[in-house]
Amino acid sequence: MDGGFQESNRRGGLENVPGAVGFVKAVELVEGESITLHLDMRGFAVSTGSACFSRTLETSHVILGIGGGHERAHGSVRFTFSRYNTLEDADNVADAIVEVVENLRRISALSQ
């Protein structure tokens, strides 16, 4: 399996569009950097922004291209899966994101 130039040629080019659309709605309700930090503390390696510009603070051209502003682009969270991940990995991060978002909503001044 050959991937694109993203992720050291380990990621293929097809994306989970329905999952991305659902995640866009979730991103509208919580801030990406906080989610990233909380997931990192739980051992999950996720990042904000675009895979193409993962080493810079460049705004994601994809999010801008679908009508998102700079704030939304910088508040996004990117999950990358490869052939080295298992279904258990996906289930574990899905469970963790639910817990993290619930906790952040509970302590957020915006949800009061």
Q: What is the average pLDDT value for the chain, to the nearest integer?
A: 75
Distance between CA atoms of residues 30 and 104, nearest Å: 8
Where in the chain are the domains? 6-111
Over residues 61-89, the mean pLDDT reads 82
Distances 37 to 7, 10, 41, 46, 106 between C-alpha atoms, Å: 20, 24, 6, 9, 17
Instruction: Name the pTM for this structure.
Output: 0.59
**Span 19-30, pLDDT tens digits:** 677 666 665 557
- What mean pLDDT comes out for the span 70-90? 83
pLDDT of 73 higher than 90: no
CATH number of 6-111: 3.90.1150.10
Of the candidates 68, 93, 66, which has an alpha carbon nearest to the alpha carbon of residue 79?
93
83-111 pLDDT, tens digit per residue, is 899 999 999 999 999 999 888 888 876 66
Does residue 47 sit in helix, strand or coil?
Answer: strand
CA 40 to chain centre: 12
**Residues 29-44, mean pLDDT to the nearest whole number:** 83
Give catalytic residue positions: 52
